[in-house]
Structures are given as C-alpha cells and as structure tokens.
C-alpha cells in the first residue's frame, strides 16, 4: 500500500494512493505516526477529491547513516582522503531535526547563511513498532515501510563544520532542509534490496545507483541503533546518499529555480523546486 498524508481543506489526513494516483481517505482520525502506532487500521476508502500531498509523516526522530561506499569514495576522493577503516564495521549515523521536514512539490528554501546547496538521494525506512536490542536477523520485522529522503546540504557550511569533528549541524539544519515523500510504501509491498535510484535536475540525469549497493543494510542500522535504546513507531532511518546521488561527487551545485527529482523504483518521484538565495 502506498500511504500518504494529504490536505484537502480540512487539515492533514492519512490517505492511500489508488492505481491511478488518486487519493483515498483511509478513515483514520490522527496523523501518520499515530496511524502506524495503531497498527495501520485502514477503513473503507473514500475519494479525497482535490488533495495536496504533504510529507508522508512528521518523523518521531531522524537518523541518517552512510551506507553507500560509492558515494563515500566520490565525496572523500575529491578531498584526497580515504574511507576510514571503521566505516566498514560501524553503521554510524547523525541525527536530523523532524521539524525541518517538508513534502513533495514544496519549494526548498535557500537560507541566507549558505552559498552552495546540494541534494542527496536517499532511501528511508520507517520503524513500525516499539523495539529494543533487535538482532539484525529480526530487524526486517520492525520496518513499517519506505519513502524517499532528500537530505539537502549547504556544502560551503559543511566544509567549515566537518573539521571540528562533531558531524553536520547548520549544514543540514534549517526550515525545509529535509524532504520526504511522495508516499510511504508498506514493507509488505516493496523489497528494498535492489531498487533502482535516480536523480534528475531540470530533467537531466545527474546520477543513478541501486539499493543493492548498500554496504550497511537497514537490518544492520536497526540492530546498531537499538542497542540499549528503545525505538518507536514513526522513527526514520536514512540510507545515506546513493553513489551519484549528490552534486558533490560531480562538482556540480544547484542553482535557484532548479527542479530536483529523486526517483526510487516502487516508491515514485519526489519533486521539488529550489528557492531563491536568501529566502529561507
């Protein structure tokens, strides 16, 4: 099932996409996280009419990993640095800010403190239920579904921050810097092991990869993150950028007015325009 959060004049509602791309209301009173917590109780669908898609959920939390060796080689190679040996053993992550999330077709703001913006093509998994100390072999059972994550980065800011060794901060954090969508596909309908992934800017293909290239699996990520810590429904785990999924690897940067399209097989296209400089 392809689930969405939509707005049709009466506030956000949970819906599902039909075979023609129309939205059916699922009859649930509450947001997507509450829907997941309740066990995804789908009622009799009704036509939602002219619906505007929002981000499929406001995540309870956001963890972003680095699963694609190809991206890391491309990014670090431009800096003349090797991949740390530890990366191959540890599915490390940083945390994003859920309140920064926007959805499909929304304009991505360009903050006044940044000069160089970049997209990042990621597959994201959403946690289904409360869990802790999950063995990797059992982690698939706690994934509710998958969506696309465009982790927008201010590269000039990131260049100043990373040498400090605390991970990204303002390079990733401003209103509208994280984009999710266009829908949330339930895990029973999507095998995340080999999905085609592509990014286009103004219709031009900039890069492509497949989720089969992930060195760290979502099972590895969940097992690592859940050690000694309870995970909750609606938490989001990002794959990190696919190889070729950012302009950084190509030495290309986004420009105001660009249209960025991230496509992942089985999920759809997450499409957003880039705003004018300083308007974020």
- What lies within 8 Å, CB to CB, of 155 at 6+ separation is 116, 117, 118, 171, 248, 253
Domain ranges for the chain: 2-53, 61-277
Query: What would the pLDDT profile of 75-92 be if each residue is shown by its tens digit?
Result: 888 777 899 999 999 999
d(CA 65, CA 80) in angstroms, rounded, equals 22
Mean pLDDT, residues 147-160:
95
Hey, which bits of 152-247 come out as E strands? 153-154, 178-186, 196-201, 204-210, 235-238
Question: Residue for token digits 């004049």?
Answer: 9
234-249 pLDDT, tens digit per residue, is 999 999 999 999 999 9
Q: What is the 3-state secondary structure (H, E, C) of 91-106?
A: CCEEEECHHHEECCCC
Q: What is the pTM of this model?
A: 0.97
Percent of the chain beyond pLDDT 90? 88
DSSP 4: E
Report whether CATH 3.90.850.10 matches the domain 61-277: yes
Task: Tokens 């996280």: give the residue.
Answer: 33
């Amino acid at each position: 099932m392809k689930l969405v959060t939509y707005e049709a004049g009466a506030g956000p509602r949970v819906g599902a996409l039909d075979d023609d791309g129309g939205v059916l209301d699922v009859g649930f009173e509450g947001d997507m996280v509450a829907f997941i917590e309740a066990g995804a109780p789908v009622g009799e669908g009704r036509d939602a009419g002219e619906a505007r898609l929002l981000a499929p959920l406001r995540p309870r939390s956001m963890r972003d990993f680095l699963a694609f060796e190809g991206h890391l080689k491309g990014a670090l190679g431009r800096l003349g640095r090797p991949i740390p040996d530890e990366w191959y053993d540890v599915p490390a992550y940083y945390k994003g800010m859920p309140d920064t999330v926007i959805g499909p077709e929304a304009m991505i703001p360009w903050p006044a403190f940044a000069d160089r913006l970049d997209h990042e093509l990621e597959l994201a998994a959403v946690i289904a239920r409360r869990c802790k100390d999950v063995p990797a072999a059992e982690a698939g059972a706690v994934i509710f579904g998958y969506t696309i994550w465009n982790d927008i980065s201010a590269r000039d800011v990131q260049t100043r921050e990373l040498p400090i060794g605390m991970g990204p901060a303002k390079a990733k954090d401003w209103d509208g810097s994280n984009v999710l969508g266009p829908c949330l596909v339930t895990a029973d309908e999507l095998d995340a092991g080999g999905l085609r992934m592509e990014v286009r800017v103004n219709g031009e293909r900039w890069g492509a990869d497949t989720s089969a290239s992930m060195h760290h699996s979502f099972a590895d990520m969940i097992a690592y993150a859940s050690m000694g810590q309870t995970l909750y429904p609606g938490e989001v785990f990002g794959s990190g950028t696919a190889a070729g999924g950012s302009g950084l690897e190509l030495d290309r940067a986004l420009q105001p007015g660009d249209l960025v399209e991230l496509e992942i097989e089985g999920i759809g296209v997450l499409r957003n325009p880039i705003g004018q400089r300083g308007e974020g």
